[in-house]
Amino acid sequence: MAAPAAPAARASRDVVFVDGVRTPFGKAGPKGIYAETRADDLVVKVIRELLRRHPQLPPERVDEVAIAATTQIGDQGLTIGRTAALLSGLPKSVPGFAIDRMCAGAMTAVTTTASGIAFGAYDVVIAGGVEHMGRHPMGEGVDPNPRIVADKLVDPTALVMGQTAENVHDRYPHLTKARCDAYAARSQEKFADAVKAGKIGPELVPVATRSAELGWGLATEDEPPRPGTTVETLAGLKTPFRPHGRVTAGNAAGLNDGATGCLLAAETTARELGLPIGMRLVGYAFVGVEPEVMGVGPVPATEKALARFGLSISDIGLFELNEAFAVQVLAFLDHFGLADDDPRVNQWGGAIACGHPLASSGVRLMTQLSRQFAERPDVRYGLTSMCIGIGMGGTVIWENPNWDGGK
């Protein structure tokens, strides 16, 4: 009998970010816009909007749906990537799965499925994330192994994100509360300016909301932003994680609800189907750090990603950094020698203004970077980066397909 033929050699394929959308972000809690809206219905809105915006994509060509959630319980459980795919009307032949890397869930949904595209297992995928922190507070239903603390594997503060931010302040005392408040006020101002200029808004999908008290409504804009926030206002806020601390509700992202999603494809498939190419994946890196100072995670993650792909921080023309806490962003900027108000960083504001529904945020960063690339042919490379609970960091580097060669 003849020996079976060897499989054909595979060449890695270029992966592109086609488009991204998101729901408006809401405030978590009984008075938030999504208080009586299901988490999986937020995901369905995102998937349907991606398909609506790209009718040239036959639904059956979607090879996978990867949806992240940090708290995989209730209406965020039951393999939400698969159930949301079914609910959104995708063919039953389209599979799906759920993924969890805390705040970097959607980021990991992207990098995992993008790797499958590069390998040749997929041609087109939908990746995103959802978090309904009003229905499911972070940590709901979990049972951490007591040895994590008893065996002193981590400091007890590692399980409370606000306390980890205070720990970053301890490690870097030059990152003062005043600097954090100034950064936070600028984030609010930049976001408000971006909304007025129409930079924020085109990526939003309206969501019908229901309230037993108020009836039906329509969410069309983010709920958390506080335009007009000043440093003076922020200076008087309480420090809930430590007496006389430095982390406040004003210089950190809030508790939020929302969903994001994006289309990824092999570049050859995107061109075949006539799909737009928003940006091209260069590479990514995830790293672990001490859980009690998880906010420093983006620093080694970015160093690792840059080194792996032969780039330096000076090659990066646009940064989208998740603003879980102002101190964590400032630690990144200081490490790489960037000014607190560097115009390349979060030019449309960030999570301190618009919110951070945990697992969904990675794709918000990517969507904004993609739309910025379209306006900046002078910029070749950009990156998205975020700190991750339990001591990790993640960075994804992207190339601008509109780059004009530095003309």
CB 278 within 8 A of CB 111: no
**Distance from C-alpha of 10 to C-alpha of 121, rounded to nearest angstrom:** 11
Catalytic residue from among 132, 136, 169, 356: 356
Angle at 261 between CA 320 and CA 313, to 5 degrees: 20
387 catalytic? Reply is: yes
262 catalytic? Reply is: no
Number of neighbouring beta carbons within 10 Å of residue 337: 9
Strands 64-68 vs 96-99: parallel, antiparallel or unpaired = parallel
Catalytic residue from among 103, 180, 262, 354: 103
180 catalytic? Reply is: no
Catalytic residue from among 180, 262, 354, 387: 387
- Residues labelled as active-site residues: 103, 356, 387
